Structure 1
Amino acid sequence: MNNEQNKIPQATAKRLPLYYRFINNLHLQGKLRVSSKELSEAVKVDSATIRRDFSYFGALGKKGYGYNVEYLLKFFRKTLDQDEVTKVSLIGVGNLGTAFLNYNFMKNNNTKIEMGFDASTEKVGKEIGGVPVHHIDELEAKLEDTTVAILTVPSSEAQNIAERLVKAGILGILNFTPARITVPDHVRVHHIDLAVELQSLVYFLKHYPLDEEETE
């Protein structure tokens, strides 16, 4: 995102890509305007939160009219730097990594996995989902134009690989390993532990019925 949006709450920043995806879908459907209520029902965020999120960016809509879809789309494209492609590297082409390569992200946003890395001779030198897979030993040499990496390696290798990524100039890591890696302050890490998220889901299902839970 642009530097001018740095002061907005992090919770708001995390919701912006969600808003963008829905607005983009509306634009593709030919819809001209949308209300905060419609947005709320689609993205599962309450209307008051949406209005508060949008208020950080000035007057994006009009009372009684709602929001102009084309205007919102242009705004979010600029805010989220959608006109610039962010090159991403994937480290660890196992089952999860392979799924990411086959899916990739370019169809939905401006991020694209450009290359993968692994140690397996069965995968190195091949393309998966149109993405070339290089040997892990080539990591530093190949990451010249990449600042973001997805980490899907075994937990025992996570810290070592993370340190190599930092030395190679990576500034953002999406960590899908259970390991909580340590990096310098200038590097941002988002941890996504699928097992923990699943356990959390089951816990909330048992102890926090939806009809009793307040929307955050």
Structure 2
Amino acid sequence: MSEVTPIIPQATSKRLPLYYRFLQNFSNAGKKRVSSSELSEAMKIDAATIRRDFSHFGALGRKGYGYDVDNLLVFFRSALDQDEETDVALIGVGSLGTAFLKYNFQKNHNTRIVVAFDPKVPKEGKSISNIPVFHPDMMEEMIKKMGINLVILTVPAKAAQEIADRLAAIGVKGILNFTPARLSVPDWMRIHTIDLSVELQTLIYFIKNDVKDSQL
């Protein structure tokens, strides 16, 4: 019989990079084992939620012992493909896009921005923070040439759907959307939208109403 791949809840999947980051912190501090309570205190996530998340992946710990930090790091590194770098394209080099280029993810993660596009760039392109930036007329050609499947979108909202359509047409698999536009894409394409204005309004609501959500 073929092995059945467990279905991991989306909320759990979103927390995996956080677990990996905090486990790295514990490892860097010389800690060899950690309990769900200690992770809970550090991450401000309920311990029961942590144990439930880990249970989706089998027996990661032992009762009365907790979790071996190095073993967990190996497991989450593999689960998150931390040993394999992912090339990313950035579309839209305004204030937010420029900040992404200056930071770039390769410093702390397994992803790196390798090319960017912006309509204000001359046809021959230019370099920003050592990253080549081209006019959007070159977008399809360069993304296919570089084999990129993940794009960060920081364009004006009115341009977002057109760009998404062009990306879908060349088979890009995922968009991290920083525009307020709700994009319509094929079922096989993944969209993660981060609307900064909505996040800010949510935070304001929580502050005014003294609402705390340990699962965020």
TM-score, normalization by structure 2: 0.92
Using the alignment, how far apart are the partners of 1:138 and 1:173 within structure 2? 18
For 1:193, the equivalent position in structure 2 comes to 195
Equivalence map 1:134-149=2 (5 Å): 134-144=134-144, 145-149=147-151
Using the alignment, how far apart are the partners of 1:92 and 1:112 within structure 2? 16
For 2:172, the equivalent position in structure 1 comes to 170
Residue number among 136, 154, 158 corresponding to 1:156 in the alignment: 158
Using the alignment, how far apart are the partners of 1:100 and 1:38 within structure 2? 33
Q: Is 1:28 aligned to residue 31 of structure 2?
A: no
Contact 1:21 1:108 in 2 (8 A): no
Alignment gaps of 5+ in structure 1: none
State the shift of 1:167 in Å. 1.2
Residue number among 182, 185, 189 corresponding to 1:183 in the alignment: 185
Using the alignment, how far apart are the partners of 1:76 and 1:97 within structure 2? 29
- RMSD, aligned α-carbons: 1.9
Using the alignment, how far apart are the partners of 1:215 and 1:102 within structure 2? 32
Equivalence map 1:52-91=2 (5 Å): 52-91=52-91
TM-score, normalization by structure 1: 0.92
Deviates more, 1:35-44 or 1:134-143: 35-44
Identical pairs, percent: 60
From the superposition, tell whether residues 137 and 165 of structure 1 become closer, same or farther in structure 2 (CA, over 3 Å). Answer: same
For 1:205, the equivalent position in structure 2 comes to 207
Contact 2:122 2:135 in 1 (8 A): no
State the shift of 1:196 in Å. 0.8
State the shift of 1:25 in Å. 2.1
SS in 2 for 1:181: coil
State the shift of 1:121 in Å. 3.1
The amino acid across from 1:29 in the alignment is A
Using the alignment, how far apart are the partners of 1:74 and 1:117 within structure 2? 36
State the shift of 1:63 in Å. 1.7
Contact 2:92 2:118 in 1 (8 A): yes
State the shift of 1:66 in Å. 1.4
Contact 2:122 2:134 in 1 (8 A): no
Deviates more, 1:54-63 or 1:122-131: 122-131
Contact 1:88 1:146 in 2 (8 A): yes
SS in 2 for 1:64: coil
Using the alignment, how far apart are the partners of 1:28 and 1:214 within structure 2? 28
State the shift of 1:31 in Å. 1.9
